[in-house]
A = this chain, B = another copy of it.
Amino acid sequence: MMFTTKAEYGVRLLIELGRQGSESEGSVVSLKAIADAELLPLAYLERIVAKLKKAGLVESTRGAHGGYRLARDASQIRMDEVIIALEGQLAPMTCFVDEPDGDAEPRVVCHHNHTDGHACATKLLWTRVLGGVQSSLQATTLDELVRFSQRADVEPTSDAAPTAA
């Protein structure tokens, strides 16, 4: 398996926030409400949302009637940023270190060009896998997921199942 429940819960949390809209609308959602809606442990969600806040993806209001809201519009939140915030560096293998200098190139660095001359050929493979993951994450925005959840929510049988779409 590739991702932990931090990613799963964190994304579900963001989707719940996305249903309420972003900063412009002012309404905040308490973690308790999200924990109840998604059947997730509150104390664990606290640690997850802290990562999202540190990454600047959500904002918080403390005190009574406080809660969280999206820091930007859901259409401006791409999933690669979310997953990195939740899981840390995105790398298919331990020896891969992604240095965040440029933004377009992956810039993977493998450091066990072991003893004799030849570098590890697995580098080619992991680079491709990383590319596949990154592109699929970058291509997905939060509001896509929000809309997907609302479609599945409101009318589960209305339109034809878009499996091949």
> Which residues of A pack against B, CB within 8 Å?
1-3, 5, 7-8, 11-12, 15, 38-39, 79, 91-95, 114-115, 117-122, 124-126, 128-129, 131-133, 135-137, 139-140, 144-146, 148-150, 152-153, 156
Can you pick out 30 interface pairs between chain A and chain B where the beta carbons lie within 8 Å of each other? A2-B3, A2-B91, A2-B92, A2-B133, A3-B93, A8-B93, A11-B121, A12-B121, A15-B122, A79-B125, A117-B156, A118-B150, A118-B152, A119-B152, A120-B149, A121-B146, A121-B148, A121-B149, A121-B152, A124-B140, A124-B144, A124-B148, A125-B137, A128-B137, A128-B139, A128-B140, A129-B133, A129-B137, A131-B136, A132-B135
Q: Chain A interface secondary structure, helix, strand, loop or mixed? A: helix
> Cα distance A1–B108 when bound, in Å?
14
